[in-house]
């Protein structure tokens, strides 16, 4: 594409700017609220600047969220589940694509059908089963369930990518006497990095922001996740939007910073991972 | 299947053996993912199907077999049908709006405008929030923030989209799209950047204008991205629950109750767990049929392009 | 490619750090090294929870040095039922559960029978009765809320308005206010207000005449469509809607509290749980209270509802300690007083009176002495989701999507879609 800055480019720049203002509006409000006292919220226009920065909102939100703990939990659950998901979906996609007979095709359809099952509709039995397996109040139990329920989508994406990898390299490895598992581990897995990066974004956002599963499975305060703790800031009987919105900022800022740092890799990852 | 069919008759015995040995290894690789999937989804699903034939309330120690009674009830349940309609509309509009908007945002951000990274980050930022927070934020936006614009400029625009059954769908679509467009935009953006630049150049040499490039190169090259986005958006929309709970609570009246929400409420609020299971089964059947068609159509189109 | 590789490493490293963090700080319930028993308390997250938690912990841990309490907050309106149901299914019920008065019948099977406990005899018979199921106690009564009409004293005085005693008088007051350009009612139909008012109106108009109406409904002896009293209840909403702020379906509880605090409206039909939020917004507001007027003056009564109550899981591993904690709740009047002062409500512990000095508290005490109607009469017989759903049908009618008759009929039809807890 040309690097020239033409009239057309200016037009596009203007359109995008307007869109971005619309996007920023809710964030602006969140920020302004988070720095105001309850009285000021009532008394002033939502767009007015805070008279003085009410930092107490942040300390309150920090405490109410039990921030370090819940952030650590969320991070641990998300990171472990995503790592496992990438490994397992790679294994499944590899055997499905290379196995290529009726059985493997059938299994593929079996997995794909799972994309359509919203886990909310199988919640009660999932919980009964989970409690028998000791998944309650168990971070690993929750990780297990995330892996199980997100696998279909991950396999769907992985398999799409796997089909584009040429067989030749693997065949050479077989001839050298490598077993399939060894081939997968040494040759195929490293080739999956681009699609793994793309999947990492998609899956980690889903798991990071999930609410129902940790809400129902993790009752121990030391195991609660950020989303669950956030919900207690918005109760039907008492909501302090200033503290609530300060909580939103606190819990979103780290992941936003992470995104800013990782942006290049994210985009690169998707570029290579989107089935090209 | 292709391997065995294509093998020459002379080496068939030898090859089959090797294929079988390989298949066992492939199967071993497949086993762990299968275990996760079966334990987390399939067994609960089967338990749910069993529950749907009982009268279990979800709490009680009693559970009796009642046959198809629950299923017959569903077809008389106006609320289920209404919630289904709502979910369908929500999905259709989301799929169209999010796909188109994400696509055009991506195209615009792939041009030579300035401060691309800044724009991209802003548009992507809402993705990082949980849907619950998005619900809370937009409730506040429609309820207090936007109406105060009316006060500022002495206007009388009806901003409170959540307060009427006629506008609540629009309100939820705005909130949902505000959150997710950035996400799919990134996927399209990635697709765009993967399009080899020389194809465009070749087209320019042949005298094609930007529109022709767009129709004949950009869209076909983004085929796989379109598939991923369409399926992702559609399935995501069908599962909508948290956003609605945190914003409209299904109201006003029952006008924004999604199917998942209706099922969830029936199971947990009204304590009709088995009836909720029956609704889940029906809902799932519809989803599976829908998914099957979608996959067939999209994959077929992709091949043709 | 190379960068992607590093990135995977980074994630691994961070997740290892994350897991260390988790491992360091996780604690489990039960008996710990120092011989202390940790009991889990489920709290339905309403007003000033952090302060109450601190206060309860300090008091209980001082009286029972071997006990540690761990609080968990679950929003009552959105998550309480589902969390309780899954905990029961998973046999993971917390040791002590704060249950909202009226919700008990749903969980009795899984709650500890407290009937024979010494501390239950502390409570007057009528309070115990309000919470008993089949003559058995499953909860320590702790606080109650009062429901009725909260009004702006300044607006009432400035306009020489007398306290209405019947529904017609209330409507006359509303008309007067409206003619003077004042919005009569704060209405937040976006969340639970319709459900709550439904119960208030039904208590004074229906259950006052037939205290077993809900049970009769279940048996098919009565129905919404054929009950003139229930038609009145539904019609009350139409009138309130007429005299409400603009766009009540777009307003939620917090918005309503803000509106009332800003003196934009004169009255708010709600319960005592609202005052804390209002006064937080405007500490100087003079709030008055009168009972929601019934069509017939003799049914105009203040509505009382046991609110915070403490129950124990029937399957707790530490029944002895749990009972000791419940005993502290039942007998420690000092703690009870602190509790109601923080939450700004009324105590059900004998002789504990709130120190909150507000006009509405005086009003409530005056009306209370005349005799109160029990809100749980309806709540126990007609489960809350049923009331909420009927509220949704009322909303659809007010918004023009259903006729009144259809709304009444839809309420009848919903009967098969909800589980009744009492027989």
Contacts of B61 in chain C (CB under 8 A): 109
Inter-residue contact C119 to C140 (CB < 8 Å) = yes
Residue C377 lies in a domain: yes
| A192 SS3 class | coil
Residue A3: the pLDDT is 55
Touching subunits of B (3+ CB pairs, under 8 Å) are: A, C
Q: Examine the domain organization and report whether C103 and C224 are in the same domain.
A: no
Inter-residue contact C248 to C399 (CB < 8 Å) = no
Q: Examine the domain organization and report whether C244 and C365 are in the same domain.
A: yes
Query: Long-range pairs for C75-79 at CB < 8 Å and ≥24 separation?
Result: C75/A231, C75/A232, C75/A234, C75/A235, C75/A236, C75/C44, C75/C45, C76/A235, C76/A236, C76/A237, C76/C44, C76/C45, C76/C46, C76/C100, C77/A235, C77/A236, C77/C191, C77/C192, C78/A231, C78/A236, C78/B245, C79/A215, C79/A231
Contact state of C78 with A231 under an 8 Å Cβ cutoff: yes
Residue C63 lies in a domain: yes
- The CATH number of residue C281's host domain is 3.40.190.10
Q: Examine the domain organization and report whether C343 and C379 are in the same domain.
A: no
CA distance B127 to C37: 42
Contacts of A111 in chain B (CB under 8 A): 33, 37
Secondary structure letter of residue C407 according to DSSP = H
Inter-residue contact C184 to C346 (CB < 8 Å) = no
Contact state of A230 with B105 under an 8 Å Cβ cutoff: no
Measure B165 CA to nearest chain A CA, in Å.
22
Structurally, chain C folds into a number of domains equal to 2
Q: CA-nearest residue of chain C to A129?
A: C90
Give the residue among B171, B169, B166, B170 at the shortest CA–CA distance from B140.
B171
Residue A4: the pLDDT is 65
Residue C18 lies in a domain: no
Contact state of B253 with C110 under an 8 Å Cβ cutoff: no
Query: Long-range pairs for B29-32 at CB < 8 Å and ≥24 separation?
Result: B29/A91, B29/A92, B29/A94, B29/A95, B29/A180, B29/A181, B29/A184, B30/A91, B30/A92, B30/A95, B30/A96, B30/A99, B30/A104, B30/A107, B32/A88, B32/A91
The torsion angles phi and psi of C223, rounded to 5 degrees, stand at: -150, 160
Using alpha carbons only, give the angle C419, C314, C63 rounded to the nearest 5 degrees: 130
CA distance B168 to B244: 10
Q: For residues B283, B289, B294 and B297, what is the CA-based torsion angle, rounded to 10 degrees?
A: -170
Q: Where are the alpha helices (DSSP H) in B129-216?
A: 131-140, 146-153, 168-194, 197-205, 210-213
CA distance A151 to B30: 12
Q: Examine the domain organization and report whether C163 and C217 are in the same domain.
A: yes
Q: For chain B, positions 27-46, list CB contacts with chain A under 8 A.
A: 27-30, 32-34, 36-45
Q: CA-nearest residue of chain C to B245?
A: C78
Using alpha carbons only, give the angle A3, A6, A12 rounded to the nearest 5 degrees: 95
**What are the residues facing C99 on neighbouring strands?**
C309
Q: What is the DSSP string of C276-313?
A: HHHHHH-TT--EEEEPPPBSSGGG--EEEEE-EEEEEB
Of A254-258, B178-182, C56-60, the one with minimum mean pLDDT is A254-258
CA distance A135 to B48: 18
CB pairs under 8 A between A and B: 286
Residues B209-259: tens digit of each pLDDT: 778 877 888 888 887 788 878 888 888 888 888 899 888 988 788 899 999
| C388 SS3 class | helix
CA distance B216 to A5: 24
CA distance C380 to C378: 6
Contacts of B235 in chain A (CB under 8 A): 115-116
CA distance A101 to B204: 45
Contact of B290 with chain A, judged by CB distance below 8 Å, is answered with yes
Contact state of B269 with C247 under an 8 Å Cβ cutoff: no
User: CB-hemisphere CA count at 13 Å for A215?
Assistant: 25
CB pairs under 8 A between A and C: 134
Residue C122: the pLDDT is 83
Contact state of B264 with A152 under an 8 Å Cβ cutoff: no
C interface test, pick of A73, A122, A235, A255 with most C CB neighbours within 10 Å? A235
Helix (H) or strand (E) holding A161: helix A139-162
Helices B223-238, B273-304: inter-axial angle, 10-degree rounding:
170
In tens digits, chain C (423 residues) has pLDDT values of: 334 444 445 555 555 544 444 444 444 445 556 678 889 999 886 667 788 888 999 999 999 999 999 888 888 877 888 888 888 877 788 999 999 888 888 888 899 999 988 889 888 888 888 888 888 899 999 998 899 999 999 999 999 999 999 999 999 999 999 999 999 999 999 888 998 999 999 999 998 888 889 889 988 899 999 999 999 999 999 999 999 998 899 888 888 998 999 999 999 999 988 888 888 888 889 999 999 999 988 888 899 888 899 999 999 999 999 999 999 999 999 999 998 888 888 888 888 887 777 888 889 888 888 877 877 777 788 888 888 899 999 999 999 888 999 999 999 988 888 888 764
Contacts of B57 in chain C (CB under 8 A): 419
Q: CA-nearest residue of chain B to A84?
A: B33
Using alpha carbons only, give the angle B175, B176, B182 rounded to the nearest 5 degrees: 105
Contacts of A136 in chain C (CB under 8 A): 90, 92
**What are the residues facing C141 on neighbouring strands?**
C309
CB pairs under 8 A between B and C: 97
Taking CA atoms, C242 is separated from C99, C185, C238, C245, in Å, by: 35, 9, 6, 9
Q: CA-nearest residue of chain B to C398?
A: B253
Classify strands C308-312 and C96-100 as parallel, antiparallel or unpaired: antiparallel
pLDDT band at A238, cuts 50/70/90? low
pLDDT band at A272, cuts 50/70/90? low
Residue C8 lies in a domain: no
Q: Examine the domain organization and report whether C284 and C366 are in the same domain.
A: yes
Of A148-162, B12-26, B220-234, C156-170, the one with minimum mean pLDDT is B12-26
Return the sign of the alpha-carbon dihedral for residues C147, C151, C153, C158.
Answer: negative
Q: Examine the domain organization and report whether C53 and C75 are in the same domain.
A: yes
| C145 SS3 class | strand
In the listed set C347, C377, C409, which residue is the last one of a domain according to the structure?
C347
| Alpha carbon A84 to its chain's center | 14
Q: Examine the domain organization and report whether C325 and C371 are in the same domain.
A: no
Contact state of A237 with C76 under an 8 Å Cβ cutoff: yes
Give the residue among A162, A150, A127, A159 at the shortest CA–CA distance from A81.
A150
B interface test, pick of C108, C419, C422 with most B CB neighbours within 10 Å? C419
CA distance C315 to B229: 48
User: CB-hemisphere CA count at 13 Å for C240?
Assistant: 29
User: CB-hemisphere CA count at 13 Å for A35?
Assistant: 13
Measure B21 CA to nearest chain A CA, in Å.
10
Q: Examine the domain organization and report whether C165 and C123 are in the same domain.
A: no
Which tokens is A173 given? 């490895």
Q: CA-nearest residue of chain C to A43?
A: C262
Residue C180 lies in a domain: yes
Q: Which domain holds residue C319?
A: 31-142+307-347
Of B60, B250, B272, the CB nearest to C418: B272
Contacts of C81 in chain B (CB under 8 A): 268-269, 271
Q: Where are the alpha helices (DSSP H) in C271-403?
A: 275-281, 319-331, 333-343, 359-370, 376-381, 384-398
Measure B45 CA to nearest chain A CA, in Å.
6
Residue count (chain A): 276
Measure A4 CA to nearest chain C CA, in Å.
30
Report which of residues B124 and C78 the model is more confident about: B124
Domains by residue range for chain B, with CATH: 4-51 (no CATH), 73-304 (1.10.3720.10)
Inter-residue contact B294 to B234 (CB < 8 Å) = yes
* ipTM over cut 0.90: no
Q: Examine the domain organization and report whether C133 and C256 are in the same domain.
A: no
Q: Examine the domain organization and report whether C186 and C64 are in the same domain.
A: no
CA distance B51 to C345: 43
Q: Examine the domain organization and report whether C373 and C231 are in the same domain.
A: yes
Residue A266: the pLDDT is 66
Domains by residue range for chain A, with CATH: 7-54 (no CATH), 59-273 (1.10.3720.10)
Rg from Cα positions in chain C? 24
Q: What is the DSSP string of C42-53?
A: EE---TTHHHHH
Q: Is the pLDDT of residue B207 over 70?
A: yes
Of C106, C110, C401, the CB nearest to B165: C401
Contact state of B265 with C78 under an 8 Å Cβ cutoff: no
Q: Examine the domain organization and report whether C382 and C300 are in the same domain.
A: yes
Tokens 């009331």, located at residue: C387
Q: Is the peptide bond before C204 cis (omega within 30 degrees of 0)?
A: no
Residue C15 lies in a domain: no
B interface test, pick of C249, C254, C385 with most B CB neighbours within 10 Å? C249
Q: Is the pLDDT of residue A116 over 80?
A: no
Which tokens is C320 given? 């002895």
Cβ-Cβ contacts under 8 Å for C234 (sequence gap 6 or more)? C394, C397, C404, C407, C408
User: CB-hemisphere CA count at 13 Å for A210?
Assistant: 30
Give the residue among A66, A127, A75, A218 at the shortest CA–CA distance from C29.
A218
Give the residue among A117, C258, A40, C72 at the shortest CA–CA distance from B41.
A117
Conformation bin of residue A50: beta by default, left when phi > 0, alpha when psi is -120 to 50 = beta
Which tokens is C262 given? 């800003």
Contact state of A155 with B190 under an 8 Å Cβ cutoff: no
Residue C22 lies in a domain: no
Measure A266 CA to nearest chain B CA, in Å.
9
Contacts of C91 in chain A (CB under 8 A): 131
Q: Is the pLDDT of residue B176 over 90?
A: yes
Cβ-Cβ contacts under 8 Å for A66 (sequence gap 6 or more)? A221, A224, A229
Inter-residue contact A27 to B125 (CB < 8 Å) = yes
Which tokens is A116 given? 């359509």
Measure C40 CA to nearest chain B CA, in Å.
20
Residue B11: the pLDDT is 47
């Amino acid at each position: 594409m040309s690097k020239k800055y033409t009239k057309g480019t200016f037009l596009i720049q203007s359109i995008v700017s307007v869109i971005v203002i619309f996007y920023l509006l809710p964030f602006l409000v969140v920020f302004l609220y988070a720095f105001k006292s309850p009285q000021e919220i009532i008394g002033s226009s939502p767009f007015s600047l805070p008279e003085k920065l009410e930092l107490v909102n942040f300390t309150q939100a920090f405490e109410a969220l039990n921030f370090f703990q819940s952030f650590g939990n969320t991070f641990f659950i998300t990171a472990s589940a995503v790592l496992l998901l990438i490994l397992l979906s790679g294994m499944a996609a590899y055997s499905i694509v290379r196995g290529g007979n009726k059985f493997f095709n059938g299994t593929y359809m079996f997995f794909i059908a799972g994309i359509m099952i919203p886990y909310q509709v199988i919640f009660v039995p999932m919980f009964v089963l989970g409690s028998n397996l000791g998944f309650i109040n168990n971070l690993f139990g929750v990780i297990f369930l995330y892996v199980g329920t997100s696998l279909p989508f991950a396999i769907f994406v992985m398999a799409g990518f796997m089909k584009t990898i040429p067989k030749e390299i693997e065949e050479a490895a077989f001839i050298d006497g490598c077993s399939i598992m060894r081939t997968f581990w040494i040759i195929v897995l490293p080739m999956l990095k681009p699609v793994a990066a793309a999947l990492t974004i998609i899956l980690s956002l889903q798991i990071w922001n999930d609410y129902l599963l940790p809400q129902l499975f993790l009752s121990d305060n030391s195991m609660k996740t950020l989303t669950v703790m956030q919900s207690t800031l918005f109760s039907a009987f008492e909501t302090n939007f200033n503290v609530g919105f300060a909580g939103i900022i606190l819990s979103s800022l780290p992941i936003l910073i992470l995104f800013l740092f990782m942006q290049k890799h994210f985009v690169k990852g998707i570029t290579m991972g989107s089935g090209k | 299947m292709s391997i065995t069919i294509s093998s020459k008759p002379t080496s068939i015995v030898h090859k089959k053996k090797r294929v079988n040995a390989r298949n066992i290894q492939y199967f071993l690789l497949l086993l762990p993912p299968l275990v996760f999937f079966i334990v987390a989804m399939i067994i609960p699903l089967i338990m749910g199907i069993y529950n749907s034939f009982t009268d279990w309330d979800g709490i009680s120690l009693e559970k009796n077999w009642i046959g198809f009674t629950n299923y017959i009830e569903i077809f008389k349940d106006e609320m289920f049908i209404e919630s289904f309609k709502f979910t369908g509309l929500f999905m259709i509009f989301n799929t169209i709006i999010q796909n188109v908007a994400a696509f055009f945002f991506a195209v615009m951000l792939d041009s030579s405008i300035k401060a691309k990274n800044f724009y991209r980050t802003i548009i992507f930022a809402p993705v990082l929030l949980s849907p619950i927070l998005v619900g809370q934020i937009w409730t506040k936006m429609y309820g207090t923030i936007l109406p105060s614009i009316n006060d500022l400029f002495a206007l009388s625009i009806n901003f409170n989209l959540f307060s009427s059954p006629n506008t609540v769908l629009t309100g939820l679509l705005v909130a949902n799209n505000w959150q997710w467009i950035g996400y799919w935009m990134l996927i399209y953006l990635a697709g765009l950047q993967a399009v080899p630049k020389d194809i465009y150049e070749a087209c320019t040499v042949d005298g094609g204008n930007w529109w022709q490039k767009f129709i004949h190169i950009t869209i076909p090259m983004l085929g796989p991205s379109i598939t991923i986005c369409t399926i992702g958006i559609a399935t995501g929309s069908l599962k909508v629950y948290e956003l609605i709970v945190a914003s409209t609570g299904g109201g006003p009246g029952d006008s924004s109750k999604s199917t998942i929400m209706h099922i969830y409420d029936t199971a947990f609020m009204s304590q009709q767990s088995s009836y909720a299971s029956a609704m889940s089964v029906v809902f799932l059947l519809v989803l599976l049929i829908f998914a099957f068609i979608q996959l067939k159509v999209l994959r077929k189109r992709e091949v043709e392009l | 490619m190379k960068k992607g590789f590093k990135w995977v490493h980074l994630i691994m490293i961070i997740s290892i750090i994350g897991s260390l963090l988790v491992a360091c700080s996780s604690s489990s319930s039960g008996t710990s090294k120092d011989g202390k028993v940790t009991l889990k308390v489920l709290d339905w997250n309403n007003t000033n929870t952090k302060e109450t938690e601190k206060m309860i912990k300090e008091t209980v841990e001082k009286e029972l040095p071997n006990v540690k309490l761990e609080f968990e907050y679950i929003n009552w309106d959105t998550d309480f039922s589902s969390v309780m149901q899954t905990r029961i299914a998973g046999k993971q019920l917390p040791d002590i559960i704060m249950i909202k008065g009226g919700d008990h019948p749903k969980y009795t099977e899984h709650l500890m029978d407290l009937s024979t406990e010494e501390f239950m005899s502390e409570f007057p018979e009528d309070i115990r009765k309000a919470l008993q199921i089949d003559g058995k106690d499953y909860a320590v009564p702790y606080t109650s809320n009062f429901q009725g009409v909260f009004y702006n004293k300044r607006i009432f005085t400035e306009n020489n308005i007398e306290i209405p005693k019947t529904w017609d008088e209330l409507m006359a007051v509303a008309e007067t206010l409206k003619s003077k350009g004042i919005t009569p009612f704060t209405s937040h139909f976006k969340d639970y207000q319709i459900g709550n008012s439904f119960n208030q109106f039904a208590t004074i108009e229906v259950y006052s005449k037939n205290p077993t109406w809900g049970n009769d409904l279940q048996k098919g002896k009565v129905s919404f469509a054929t009950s003139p009293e229930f038609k009145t209840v539904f019609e009350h909403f139409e009138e309130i809607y007429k005299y409400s702020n603009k766009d009540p379906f777009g307003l939620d509880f917090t918005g309503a509290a803000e509106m009332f605090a800003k003196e934009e409206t004169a009255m708010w039909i709600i319960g005592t749980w609202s005052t804390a939020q209002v006064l937080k917004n405007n500490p100087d507001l003079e709030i008055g209270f009168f009972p929601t007027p019934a069509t017939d003056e003799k049914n105009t009564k203040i509505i009382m509802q046991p609110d915070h109550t403490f129950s124990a899981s029937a399957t707790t591993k530490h029944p002895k300690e749990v009972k000791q904690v419940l005993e502290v709740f039942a007998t420690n009047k000092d703690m009870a007083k602190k509790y109601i002062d923080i939450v700004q409500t009324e105590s059900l512990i004998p002789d504990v009176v709130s120190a909150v000095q507000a006009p509405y508290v005086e009003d409530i005490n005056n009306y209370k002495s005349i005799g109160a109607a029990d809100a749980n009469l309806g709540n126990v017989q007609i489960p809350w989701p049923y009331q909420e759903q009927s509220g949704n049908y009322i909303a659809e009618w007010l918004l023009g999507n259903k006729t009144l008759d259809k709304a009444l009929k839809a309420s009848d039809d919903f009967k098969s879609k909800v589980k009744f807890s009492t027989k």
